Amino acid sequence: MNVKYEDVLDVLINSGVSADVEGLAHDASLKDAGVDSLDISNFFLCLEEKFEIEIADEDIDLLDTIDAIVSYIKKL
């Protein structure tokens, strides 16, 4: 699947996270940026819906940066 940093960041911003994530660096930690666990859960649900994929629950903890998420989705 062809997905880019901008695609994932757009989903993050539009998922309603309470943290300021505009311009979040590719390798910045979502948790360090202030994205809480409830926002992360909602964000991953939005990703699954947007890209029509299923992200395994056990993989979510490993996906803490935009780059990691992009790489993961590309492999699906």
Looking at residue 39, which CATH number applies to its domain?
A: 1.10.1200.10
Tens of pLDDT along 22-73? 999 999 999 999 999 999 999 999 999 999 999 999 999 999 999 999 999 9
Work out the pLDDT band at 13, boundaries 50, 70, 90: very high
Buried b (16+ CB within 10 A) or exposed e, 23-42: ebeeeeebeebebeeebbee
- Determine the structural domain holding residue 42 and report its residue range: 5-75
Give residue 26's pLDDT.
96
Average pLDDT of the segment spanning 2-29: 96
Give residue 66's pLDDT.
97
Rounded Cα distance between 41 and 47, Å, is 10
Rounded Cα distance between 2 and 36, Å, is 27
Number of domains into which the chain is organized: 1
| CB neighbourhood size of 52 (10 A) | 8
Packing angle of the helix pair 5-14, 66-75 (nearest 10 deg): 110
